[in-house]
Amino acid sequence: METMTTSPGAAPDLLHKEYWDLNYISGPLVFLGNGDRFATGSILDLVSETGEVRQGQVLEASKKHAVVQVLQGTQGLDIKRVSVSLKKEAARVGCSKNLIGRSFNGTGDPIDGLPPVVADKELDISGTAINPVSRDKPNDFIETGLSTIDGFNTLVRGQKLPIFFGAGLPANEVANMIVQQSSTKGDSEEFVVVFGAMGLTEREAAYFLRSFEEGGQGSRVVSFINKASDPAIERLFAPRCALTVAEYLAFEHDYQVLVILTDMTSYCEALRQVSSAREEIPGRRGYPGYMYTDLSTIYERAGRIRGKKGSVTQVPMLTMPDDDITHPIPDLTGYITEGQIVLSRPLHRQGVFPPVDLLPCLSRLMNNGIGEGRTRVDHRALANQLYASYAQGRDVRKLMAIVGEDALSELDKRYLKFAIEFEKYMIGQGETRRTIEDTLDLGWKLLGILPPDELTRVSKALVEQYYRPYDEESQ
Instruction: Supply the DSSP string of 320-376, one letter for each residue.
Output: -GGG-TTSHHHHHHHHHSSEEEEB-HHHHHTT-SS-B-STT-EETTHHHH-STTTS-
CA distance 234 to 226: 7
Residues written for the chain: 475
Mean pLDDT, rounded, for 211-223: 83
pLDDT in tens, 110-148: 999 999 999 999 999 988 778 889 999 998 999 999 999
pLDDT of residue 446: 97
Torsion of CA 213, 219, 222, 226, to 10 degrees: 20
pLDDT of residue 1: 54
pLDDT band at 4 (very low <50, low <70, confident <90, very high): low
pLDDT of residue 311: 95
pLDDT in tens, 83-94: 888 887 778 899
Contact 22, 82 (CB under 8 A): yes
Cα separations in angstroms, 225 against 105, 195, 255, 272, 376: 5, 8, 22, 20, 37
Structural domain spans, the chain: 2-90, 93-369, 379-474
Q: Is the peptide bond before 282 cis (omega within 30 degrees of 0)?
A: no
CA distance 124 to 147: 38
Q: For residue 186, is it left (φ>0), alpha (ψ between -120 and 50) or beta?
A: beta
Considering the chain, what percentage of its residues have pLDDT values greater than 90?
68
Up-side HSE of residue 316: CA atoms within 13 Å toward CB?
Answer: 32
Mean pLDDT, rounded, for 462-472: 89
- Give the CATH number of domain 93-369: 3.40.50.12240
* Assigned fold of 2-90: Elongation Factor Tu (Ef-tu); domain 3 (2.40.30)
Q: Among 135, 97, 123, 127, which residue's Cα sits nearest to residue 308?
A: 135
pLDDT band at 9 (very low <50, low <70, confident <90, very high): very low
pTM: 0.90
Q: For residue 473, give every residue at least 6 positions away whose Cβ sits within 8 Å of its Cβ, in sequence order, or none.
A: none
Lowest mean pLDDT among 82-96, 260-274, 287-301, 343-357: 82-96
Q: Is the pLDDT of residue 445 over 70?
A: yes
pLDDT in tens, 53-66: 888 888 888 878 88
- Give the CATH number of domain 379-474: 1.10.1140
Q: What does the DSSP 8-state code read for residue 197?
A: E
